[in-house]
Structure 1
Amino acid sequence: MRIGIAGKGGVGKTTIAATLARLAARSGATTIAIDADSNPNLAAALGLNRVTSGHPLPVSVVSKRLGGPALTGSVDDVLAAHGTAGPDGVTLLSMGGPAHAGEGCLCSAHATVGAVLADLGATLDVVTVVDMEASPEQLSRGTVRNVDILLLVAEPYFRSLETVRRLAPLAAELSIARIGVIANKLRSTSEGDAMAEFCERHELTRLASVPYDDAVAAADLAGTPLLDATPDSPAAAAIGELATQLRTASTPQG
């Protein structure tokens, strides 16, 4: 199962991505976390430091094919050469970012992520979590066309919801099988109601609600993953329920 996580900057994508990845690994799944943001922060959210996680995917892992970019070797080769082992057995891959000002676009870096996702396939016993940048670019480029589900994270305020409203139709044009909204940082019942009304009006499925939780900010300030700092916090519990829901939905029924 390949999970993309998108939304406006600051809505909590990286915290949710890191927590989902570690919970998936704890459940026994082979888990790959991909930081697809040119300003990477997923390593820290997982519990890795900059020294051990500074190996972005080189453009040499990709070749151009008629059907789009593809890996020059196997996914296992890429993971072995460029993956970083993280807590709970998560393997981190990072998209390359600019090394210098004035370098130009990051087309090749996006191609590496797209090729990895395509070659991974919809393998049931492998969970891939992609922390996307706060931009529609990975949808307009088709970088994440091969995710199986796209989680659109939103806070209950206008600009955040507008971002979801713009991203959802782009995802639909890529024929992503499932698109769901994560209502994050809810402070009241009325905010939850507003999110529900928004989803209904735009024919979107709200998959989970995560309450506002001071523990998230405290963990970030301390540079500690939420699961390590306060594993029983309300936010961690809500993300745990989402992880169970996604795992159950991806399990074939006998």
Structure 2
Amino acid sequence: MKIAFVGKGGSGKTTLSSLFIRHLTANEAPVLAVDADINQHLGAALGLDDAESAALPAMGAHLPLIKEYLRGSNPRIASAETMIKTTPPGTGSRLLRIREDNPVYDACARPVALDDGEISLMATGPFTESDLGVSCYHSKVGAVELCLNHLVDGPEEFVVVDMTAGSDSFASGMFTRFDLTFLVAEPTRKGISVYRQYKEYARDFGVALKVVGNKVRDRDDLEFLRAEAGDDLLVSVGHSDWVRAMEKGRPPRFELLEAGNRLALQSLQDAAEDSYAHRDWERYTRQMVHFHLKNAESWGNERTGADLASQVDPAFVLSERYAEVSPAS
């Protein structure tokens, strides 16, 4: 299942992403983690030092390899150069699976050892000096969106994506790629304003959204979130000595995380599993195609010099049946 963490800058979404990843690993679930934020902090939150975080390969730098691999033998895609971030898979495309070896993971994923097991981590990559003034953030996350479009996952597997702050993810169709989106909100007017904006933008696309209250100090904070988020408020998290130690670079073993926070993380997992159980694969594929056609008409056709609408395979529906057997060798 695919899970996103979103929220305004400073809300704690990266910290909660990392806690959720540690929790899943403690529960022996396979996890592929993706840092899709321009401010690359997920690696550090998972225990990497500065040098290790800086050494993570940037997915954007490997976009030609990613495109060529995913294209496979799909006859509707003439060349990797005609693929854009929204290109959907079709007959002959190569798909990614969480538990496999492939050239994309070889180039872009790195193992991260946690207390209770190992996860794979990928990162979109930070802005570089050469990007300043000539690139936008969304050109960086295109590699993430393309991989998510071609990734088929099962009910006991997790892709956890730490997204960009605020509502920037609505600049593409990536916000529809998740079974459940956790919006991390502080009990403040600014925190709630991001929730309202996200909910409004996502309303017409059937996006499953739950609010995770963070930095909740007392009953008044909790009641504020309940009044503003209503039934969307799933759980709240308060002060954590474990997190404070983690932020100083010396976390205790994860089993020592406060019991209340462990229960909160289990609530997130339960909600994610329930949401995945209701995934509509046909709608999932249809939304993929919808955003591809929009991008093709808006800029893709002109950029590539090709009719990108012809890349859509009307008979292809991504589904769980591809989880074990690749449609292209």
Please tell me the TM-score bracket, short chain as reference: 0.7 to 0.9
Q: Runs of 5+ in structure 1 lacking a partner?
A: none
Aligned with 2:270 (options 238, 245, 248):
245
Q: Does 1:184 align with 2:209?
A: no
TM-score (normalizing by structure 2): 0.67
The 5-angstrom pairing of residues 100-119 of structure 1 reads: 100=129, 101-119=132-150
Question: Is it true that 1:82 corresponds to 2:105 in the alignment?
Answer: no
- Looking at structure 1, the residues matched to 265 and 27 of structure 2 have their Cα atoms a distance apart, in angstroms, of 11
* C-alpha deviation, 1:98, in angstroms: 1.4
3-state SS of paired residue (2:214): strand
Bigger mean CA deviation after superposition, 76-85 or 29-38 = 76-85
Deviation of the 1:229 alpha carbon: 6.8
In structure 2, relative to structure 1, the CA distance for the partners of 1:235 and 1:10 (3 Å cut) is farther
Q: How does 1:69-218 map to 2 (within 5 A)?
A: 69=87, 74-75=95-96, 76-77=101-102, 78-86=104-112, 87=114, 88-100=117-129, 101-176=132-207, 178-200=208-230, 204-218=231-245
Counterpart position of 2:41: 41
Q: Distance in 1 between matches of 2:24 and 2:193?
A: 30
- For structure 2, the residue ranges without an aligned partner over 5 or more in a row are 68-79, 279-329
CA offset digits 1:88-110 (Å, max 9, x no partner): 21110101221113232133322
Q: Is the radius of gyration larger for structure 1 or structure 2?
A: 2
CA contact (8 A) 1:36 1:113 kept: yes
State the alpha-carbon separation in 1 of the partners of residues 33 and 86 from structure 2: 22
Residues of 1 paired with 2:94 and 2:50: CA distance? 27
Aligned to 2:63: 59
Corresponding residue number in structure 2 for 1:11 = 11
Q: Distance in 1 between matches of 2:95 and 2:124?
A: 17
Three-state SS of the structure 2 residue aligned to 1:52 is helix
Distance 2:272 2:194 in 1: 27
SS at match of 1:208: strand
C-alpha displacement at 1:175, in angstroms?
A: 2.9
Q: How far apart are the structure 1 equivalents of 2:194 and 2:85?
A: 30
Greater displacement, 58-67 / 29-38: 58-67
Residues 1:25 and 1:119: Cα distance change in structure 2 (over 3 Å): farther
| RMSD across aligned positions (CA) | 2.7
User: 1:180, CA displacement in angstroms?
Assistant: 0.5
What TM-score, normalized by structure 1, do the two folds share?
Answer: 0.85
What is the CA–CA distance in structure 1 between the aligned matches of 2:249 and 2:228, rounded to whole Å?
A: 33
Please report how far the alpha carbon of residue 24 of structure 1 lies from its aligned counterpart in structure 2 after TM superposition. Answer: 1.3
Relative to structure 2, which stretch is displaced further, 238-247 or 54-63?
Answer: 238-247
- Give the share of equivalent positions with the same residue, in percent: 25
Q: Which amino acid aligns with 1:208?
A: V
* Structure 1 counterpart of 2:253: 228
**Mean alpha-carbon deviation: is it higher for 132-141 or for 148-157?**
132-141
Q: Which has the higher strand share?
A: 1
* C-alpha distance in structure 2 between counterparts of 1:252 and 1:174, whole Å: 18
- How many residue pairs are counted as aligned between the two chains? 247
**AA at the equivalent of 1:212:** H
Amino acid at match of 1:11: S
1:186 to partner: Cα distance: 0.9
